[in-house]
Amino acid sequence: MEKIVESFELFGKHYTMTTGELAKQASGSVVVTCGDTTVLVTAVISKEERDYDFFPLTVDFMEKMYAVGRIPGGYLKREAKPSDKGTLIARMIDRPIRPGFVDGFKREVHIVATTLVVDGENPPDTICVGGASAALMIGAAPFDGPAACVRIARNPETGEFIVNPTYAEMEASDLELTIAGTADYISMVEAGAKGVSEEDMLAAMTFGQEAIAEFCAVQQRFLDRCNIEPKEWPIHVPDPAIEERVSPYLEQMSAALHDADKATRMAKVEALKDEIKASQFTEEEQAAWKSDIAAVTKALEKKAMRAMVLATGERADGRAPDEIRPLYIVPGFLPRVHGSGLFQRGQTQALSVCTLGMLNEWQRLDTIDPAEGKRYMHQYNFPPYSTGETGRMGAPKRREIGHGALAERALLPVLPTEDEFPYAIRVVSEILESNGSSSMASTCGSTLALMDAGVPIKAPVSGIAMGLIKEGDDVVILSDIQGIEDFLGDMDFKVCGTAEGITALQMDNKAKGLSVDILARALKQAKEGRAFILDAMLQTIDAPRPELSAYAPRIETIHIPVDKIREVIGTGGKVVRGIQDETGASIDIHEDGTIHIAAIDGEAGEAAKAMILGIVKEPEVGEEYEGEVVGIKDFGAFVKLTPSKDGLLHISRVANGRIGKVEDVLSIGDVVKVKVIEVDPNTGKISLDRLDKPEAPAAPAGEARPRRERSDRGEHKDNRPGRSSREGRPAGRTPRRRHEPKE
C-alpha cells in the first residue's frame, strides 16, 4: 500500500492519520497524531482459528520513555511491565473495540499502541481507539467500524464543552468524560467529576456522541482512500442440531436460576448443563462439539434470565428491578489500624483499610504522564477465594487495577487538600466475597474507612452498579446488579457520587442502539439507589471521626525561612537525623521551607518542633536564654543561644565586680543564664548580660588586684587648650581649673 495521509482540524485541534509507511507487515497499521503527540497503532489477525468459547482479543499499550525525552528508572534502564496508567489505557482501547467484532469470530487479534512522541500537552490515549479502529479496518477485520473515542472537559468560565482537552484544560475542568463508540451508539464511558449533576453529565455524553460521529466520518474518509481488499473470514456457527437438543430445557433453566444464593444457583445451573450434555449428546459428540455445547448452554442460561426479567420484572434472586440487596455496614471493623470499614451488599463483601503516612510516602510515577506522583492511593484486591475458587495469588490483574482506579477517582474530589490534611493516604479494599458490583462495594467501604480514620472528607461517597436488559423495544433497567446480570445483561453502568452530584462513572455497553433516553433513565434510577445506600452508611457513621486513631501519626506543619533549611538539615543531614534519633519523630523538609513533623507520641512531635524552631530562631532584645559557654577570649565569653547562634558575654558582665580574667569565673561547658541586650542590625552580632552573676572573686591576702600598667596605653600628653604639660611644673603647685570663678 502506498503512503496515505489524512490531515484534518476538529474542535480546534489538528490531527493526522497515516498508513503505508510504518509496520507494513501487520494486518493493519496507522500512525495517529494530535498536536505533536504521535502513536503507532498496529493490528494483527492470526492466520489460524482457535477453538475458544470467547473472543481472543489482546490489547497492549506501550509507554516508551523516549517519547517524553527521558531514560527509564530502575536498574535495567528499560521499559518493563506496564504501569497502572498504561494498563488502564489498554483497557480503555479494548472495551469499545471488543463489542464491534462479529459473534463467532475466533481468530486471535492483537492490537499494539506504541507511543512515539508525547508533547506534554495532548494525551495519547483517546487517539489510540481511532487508530485501532482504522488499523482493523485496513486489515479488513470483521469489525463494526469506524469507532472513535473523545475526552470531554468543560471550560469553568464559559461552561462550554472542550473536545480532547490538553492536560492544562483538564486540570481546570470540573468534568473529565471519556466516551467511545461509533456514529450510531456508545459502547464505553469513563468519567471523573467534582460533583456534577446528572443533567450536566448527560449533556456532556450527548455532546460526546456527536463529537464521536464527526471523528468517525473523517476516519471513513481516510479509509475510503486506502483501497482495502475485502476478505471472507470464517465465522464459526454451531451445528443447528445442538440448539435443537438444548432449547427444550428453557423452563428447567429458568427454574434453576430462581435462587437468591449464588453458590446454590450456580450448582443448579451446572447440574442442569451436565444433565443436558449427558442425555442429549454422545461421548463422541461431546468431544467434537465441546466448546459449541458450552456456548449453546450458556446462551440458554442467558435467554432464560433475560426472558424472566422482561416478562415478569422479577430477577434471579427475586428482587424488583430497582431493589437494592440487603446491606451490612460496619465502620471501624478492625482494631489498631488507622481506619477501616466493612461494606456488604447481598453476597458482595469488601473490607477497606485506610493507612495514613508522611507526604514523602506518596507514590512516585515513572511514566509518560506529566504527573510525578500521587498522594492518594486506592488499591483493590480480588483473591480467588472471593468467588469460591482456587487460583494463583500474585501481581494485580488488569481488572483489579481498573476497579481500584475507579474507586480512587470516585473519592479524589472529596479529599482534603495537603494544606488541610498533610498526609499521604492509602486505602486497600480486600474483596472477601463477590457476586457483582464489587468495585462499588469498594467505593462505599473506602468512604467508611476514610471517615473512621478521621480524614476530613468534604462529603461521603456511595456507588451503585446498574444493568440493562434490552430486546427490541423492551427495556428494563436494573439497580445493584449481581454477577449473572453483569455477564448475561447488556450493560454494566457504575455511578459514584455524593448527595450533591456525580464524582465518577464507568459504563460498558453490549447493546447497540443505547439511546440518550435510556441513559437518562439509568442515571435517574442510579441516583435513587446511591441515595438509599448513602443513607444506610450515614446511619452507622454520620461524619469523619473528630480525632485520628491513637495508632496514626500526628503530623504538624511548620514553615521556616528558605535560607534556614540548610541549618536544619545540617552537613550531610547530620542535624535533622539527630533530631529524629533523639525524639523518634519523622521529619519531611520541602524546598519552600515547609516542614512536616510526624510522630505517634505527641510529646515526641512537640520536642522535634521545638528543636527545629530553636535552630531557626533569631534572638531578640529582651529574650532570656540558658546557654552553654562555647568559647572564651580575653574580652569575654561566647554563649550558645540556639544551635546556630552564639552571643558575646563581655568580661565586664561576667560577674558583679571587676575580674582579671574570664577564666576566673567561667569555663568551657558551663551553663549560664543570659539576657539579650543588643543585636547589631548590620552584623547581627549579639551582646548579652548575665542574669545569675556571682560576686567577683577576692584577690589573695597581701596582693593587690592586678591592674593594667599605664605604659600599656602609651605616653599620655594632654594638648587640649588650657592644659599644660605636667612635666616641669613646680612642686606643690595646684593648677587653676579652667572654669574656676575668680575671687
Annotated ligand binding at 473? The verdict is: no
Supply angle C-alpha 560, 566, 568, rounded to 5.
60
Task: Write the CA distances from 477 to 42, 314, 533, integer angstroms.
Answer: 37, 12, 18
Tell me which residue of 446, 452, 454, 448 sits closest to 381, measured CA to CA. Answer: 446
Handedness of CA 703, 707, 708, 711 (dihedral sign): negative
For residues 465 and 478, give the distance between their C-alpha atoms in angstroms, rounded to a whole number: 9
- CB atoms < 10 A from the CB of 227, how many? 10
Helix (H) or strand (E) holding 589: strand 586-589
Domains present along the chain, CATH in parentheses: 4-224 (3.30.230.70), 240-312 (1.10.10), 327-538 (3.30.230.70), 554-616 (3.30.1370.10), 624-690 (2.40.50.140)
CB 664 within 8 A of CB 619: no
CB 208 within 8 A of CB 152: yes
For residues 30 and 27, give the distance between their C-alpha atoms in angstroms, rounded to a whole number: 11
For residues 381 and 294, give the distance between their C-alpha atoms in angstroms, rounded to a whole number: 30
Helix (H) or strand (E) holding 303: helix 290-312
| Nearby residues of 307 by Cβ (< 8 Å), 6 or more positions away | 250, 254
Annotated ligand binding at 601? The verdict is: no
3 state SS of 179: strand
Q: Which three cell numbers stand for residue 48?
A: 489460524
Q: Tell me, what amino acid is at 370? A: P
Look-up: residue for cell 517519547?
Answer: 67
The β-bridge partners of 188 are 180, 508
Question: pLDDT digits over 317-376, tens only?
Answer: 889 999 999 999 999 999 999 999 999 999 999 999 999 998 888 888 878 888 788 999
Residues of the chain with pLDDT under 50: 708-717, 720-732, 737-743
Dihedral over alpha carbons 660, 665, 670, 672 (to 10 degrees): -100
Helix (H) or strand (E) holding 343: strand 339-345
**Predicted pLDDT of residue 435:** 92
- CB atoms < 10 A from the CB of 653, how many? 18
Question: pLDDT digits over 197-248, tens only?
Answer: 999 999 999 999 999 999 999 999 999 999 898 898 888 888 899 999 999 9
For residues 5 and 421, give the distance between their C-alpha atoms in angstroms, rounded to a whole number: 51
Question: pLDDT digits over 77-101, tens only?
Answer: 888 888 899 999 999 999 999 989 9
- CB atoms < 10 A from the CB of 274, how many? 11
CB 286 within 8 A of CB 239: no
For residues 332 and 709, give the distance between their C-alpha atoms in angstroms, rounded to a whole number: 83
Q: What is the reported pTM?
A: 0.83
Ordered DSSP codes for 145-178: ---EEEEEEE-TTT--EEES--HHHHHH-SEEEE
- Chain Cα centroid distance, residue 528: 28
For residues 464 and 24, give the distance between their C-alpha atoms in angstroms, rounded to a whole number: 45
By the 10 Å C-beta count (0-12 exposed, 13-18 middle, 19+ buried), 326 is classed as exposed
For residues 461 and 426, give the distance between their C-alpha atoms in angstroms, rounded to a whole number: 17
Q: State the DSSP code for 699.
A: P
Look-up: residue for cell 596582693?
Answer: 703
Tell me which residue of 35, 115, 34 sits closest to 67, measured CA to CA. Answer: 115
Mode of pairing for the β-strands spanning 376-381 and 424-433: parallel
By the 10 Å C-beta count (0-12 exposed, 13-18 middle, 19+ buried), 150 is classed as buried
Supply angle C-alpha 405, 407, 412, rounded to 5.
90
In degrees and rounded to multiples of 5, residue 583 shows phi and psi of -100, -25
- CB atoms < 10 A from the CB of 235, how many? 12
For residues 394 and 366, give the distance between their C-alpha atoms in angstroms, rounded to a whole number: 22
**Predicted pLDDT of residue 395:** 86
The β-bridge partners of 181 are 148, 186
